[in-house]
């Protein structure tokens, strides 16, 4: 297959929907020679901050001269972003080649009576195969949804399990309480393993700790008492942590400092496991070089335009802290599109009070809430609200309505900000 044929093949598997369970991915990987069993995996679950934390871990390890695979989802601009080695996307040619191999194995599976794999199962199998072929030292593996029954949890062991902040999301699949969701996330924990968690609610922490106890696994909670923030604006942040001085990151928001500290603790553990000392210069370079698109990312000046993936309560709270810190007494316009199965009312309650004007639009996803319905909800909070179903038209309208000293924020869905990022070249 060529690249386009491969992507068409993958997207057609979307009609088979989402299926929680590991039987299919196990069979597919067995037919591929079980590449996942030959990889050293850092497995990362959580509701918010997974991608940023994965990127910090991957980039720091790269600076320590390791060859690191990074598997994340969804992508913002091109599919290839989901599968990377040392921050380089998988090539179009490799995608076509590997999907051709996987297609042959799927035909064997289906002939034997197995269900057709889902889109996520196919992409996860691709990633494992590609990383094994390239003999990577480590794979930083982001869970797609939940943990226990996620296709990435087909692995039998991991170097370390990492759990980022847990909040309410995907309640139709994972449950409607923090305890239930934490239980699903904790499903990635293996017997006699090591687990690092981001400091979070007792409700989530207690569930994870119990799973660690039941599985005889070491539990480390990363606390944030030893942070001294020296500088923080929309360009960069500088801070001290324990004995590390003058650490800098280009990701914005206090939550990103905390994500980077979680990553530092994980990297310290990995290096000590392989008897490698921390080189502070390499650590600093890894932090500084970490990028994670679409998370409080500045894409334009005059007017200042920032995109962010906030789509649930915790994400909205993190964004609100950035707005409080950097944009008081400014005219703020929100360009918003959301999926109807998200915590829409909670997100609106947190964010809308910051904005003078709001433009609602549709997200290119069947689960989008209509821009008119979103406008109706927001009209309870803000007088000046506009709904424009076409995103490019909504974007142009938002820019025309804003003066050069205004601030534009777009959030609500990673699908939305991915499209805006693609369109930003035309702005």
Over the chain (427 residues), the average pLDDT of each successive run of 10 is 96 69 94 98 96 98 98 94 98 98 97 93 98 98 93 97 85 72 96 97 95 98 96 96 97 96 98 96 98 94 94 92 93 96 92 96 93 95 94 96 94 93 83
Structure tokens at 346: 């909670």
The pLDDT of residue 213 is 98
Residue 300 makes CB contacts below 8 A (sequence gap 6+) with 408, 424, 427
The pLDDT of residue 176 is 66
Query: What burial class does residue 427 get, using C-beta atoms within 10 Å of its C-beta: 0-12 exposed, 13-18 middle, 19+ buried?
Result: exposed
Residues 309 and 285 in one domain: no
Quick check: 412 and 350 in contact, CB under 8 A? no
How many other C-beta atoms can be found within 10 angstroms of the C-beta atom of residue 299?
19
Q: Helices 254-273 & 313-326, crossing angle to 10 degrees?
A: 120
Residues 348 and 274 in one domain: no
Q: How many domains does the chain have?
A: 2
Handedness of CA 286, 288, 289, 290 (dihedral sign): positive
Residues 196 and 61 in one domain: yes
The pLDDT of residue 102 is 98
Tell me how far apart the alpha carbons of residues 293 and 308 are, in angstroms, rounded to a whole number.
9
Residues 323 and 233 in one domain: no
Q: Write down which residue in 234, 262, 289 finishes a domain.
A: 289
Q: Write down which residue in 289, 312, 340 finishes a domain.
A: 289
Residues 305 and 284 in one domain: no
Full residue range of the structural domain in which residue 361 is found: 297-426
Stated pTM of the model? 0.93
Residues 35 and 180 in one domain: yes
The pLDDT of residue 56 is 98
Residues 249 and 378 in one domain: no
The pLDDT of residue 146 is 87
Structure tokens at 276: 């490698």
Residues 86 and 55 in one domain: yes
The pLDDT of residue 424 is 84
Residues 354 and 225 in one domain: no
Residues 172 and 223 in one domain: yes
Residues 64 and 172 in one domain: yes
Q: Write down which residue in 246, 271, 289 finishes a domain.
A: 289
Q: Tell me which H or E stretch contains 227.
A: strand 227-232
Q: What is the CATH number of the domain that holds 137?
A: 3.40.1190.10
Tell me how far apart the alpha carbons of residues 232 and 257 are, in angstroms, rounded to a whole number.
10
Residues 301 and 267 in one domain: no
């Amino acid at each position: 297959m060529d690249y386009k044929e491969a992507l068409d093949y993958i997207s057609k598997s979307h009609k088979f929907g989402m299926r929680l369970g590991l039987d299919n991915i196990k069979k597919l990987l067995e037919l591929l020679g079980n590449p996942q069993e030959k990889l050293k995996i850092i497995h990362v679950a959580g509701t918010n901050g997974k991608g940023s934390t994965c990127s910090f871990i991957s980039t720091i390890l790269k600076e320590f001269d390791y060859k690191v695979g990074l598997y994340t989802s969804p992508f913002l601009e091109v599919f290839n972003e989901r599968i990377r080695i040392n921050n380089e996307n998988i090539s179009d040619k490799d995608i076509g080649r590997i999907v051709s191999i996987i297609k042959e194995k799927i035909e064997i599976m289906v002939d034997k009576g197995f269900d057709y794999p889902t889109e996520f199962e196919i992409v996860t199998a691709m990633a494992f195969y590609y990383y094994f072929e390239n003999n990577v030292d480590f794979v930083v593996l982001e869970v797609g949804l939940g943990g226990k029954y996620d296709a990435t949890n087909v692995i039998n062991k991991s170097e370390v399990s990492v759990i980022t902040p847990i909040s309410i999301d995907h309640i139709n699949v994972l449950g409607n309480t923090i305890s239930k969701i934490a239980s699903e996330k904790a499903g990635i924990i293996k017997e006699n393993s090591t687990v690092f968690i981001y400091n979070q609610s007792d409700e989530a922490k207690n569930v994870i700790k119990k799973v660690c106890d039941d599985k005889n696994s070491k539990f480390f909670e990363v606390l944030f008492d030893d942070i001294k923030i020296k500088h923080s604006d929309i360009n960069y942040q500088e801070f001290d942590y324990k004995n590390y001085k003058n650490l800098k990151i280009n990701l914005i928001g206090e939550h990103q400092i905390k994500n980077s500290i979680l990553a530092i603790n994980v990297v310290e553990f990995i290096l000590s496991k392989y008897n490698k000392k921390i080189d502070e210069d390499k650590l600093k370079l890894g932090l500084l070089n970490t990028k994670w698109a679409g998370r409080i990312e500045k894409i334009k000046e005059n007017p200042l335009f920032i995109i962010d993936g906030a789509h649930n309560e915790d994400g909205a709270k993190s964004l609100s802290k950035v707005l409080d810190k950097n944009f008081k007494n400014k005219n703020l316009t929100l360009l918003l599109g959301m999926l109807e199965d998200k915590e829409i009312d909670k997100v609106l309650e947190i964010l809308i009070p910051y904005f003078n004007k709001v433009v609602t639009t549709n997200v290119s996803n069947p689960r989008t809430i209509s821009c008119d319905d979103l406008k109706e909800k927001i009209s309870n909070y803000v007088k000046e609200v506009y709904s424009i179903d076409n995103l490019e038209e909504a974007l142009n309208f938002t820019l025309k309505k804003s003066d050069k000293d205004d601030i534009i924020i777009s959030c609500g869905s990673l699908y939305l900000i991915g499209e805006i990022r693609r369109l930003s070249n035309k702005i």
